[in-house]
Amino acid sequence: MSKLPINLEKVSSKDIDKIILRTAIIAELDAISLYEELAAMTNNENLKKVLLDVAKEEKTHVGEFLALLNIEDEEQKKELREGEEEVKEILEG
């Protein structure tokens, strides 16, 4: 992603870091999808291994950004926990 999907000049100073973190998460998720799709397309096992390894590293980056977002945005943290509980209820019910 070479261009930000939003104009950060229009974001309030209290929200800018949360927007930056969400944008970074989006970029990492896009990279994961791209690398996994490319890996599925190739017949070259060496290339496939490297692409999937890089995709795995990007998943770690998502976790890092999400962990920081949970620190910076208490509401986000709460809603993620609630979403997790809803999934557990659905799967158990």
Higher pLDDT, 13 or 65: 65
Q: How does pLDDT run across 52-88, given as a tens digit for each residue? A: 999 999 999 999 999 999 999 999 999 999 999 999 9
- Predicted structure pTM score: 0.85
Q: Give the side-chain half-sphere CA count within 13 A for 29.
A: 9
State residue 71's pLDDT score.
96
**At 93, is the pLDDT very low, low, confident or very high (cuts 50, 70, 90)?**
confident
Predicted confidence (pLDDT) at residue 5 exceeds the cutoff of 70:
no
Predicted confidence (pLDDT) at residue 4 exceeds the cutoff of 60:
yes
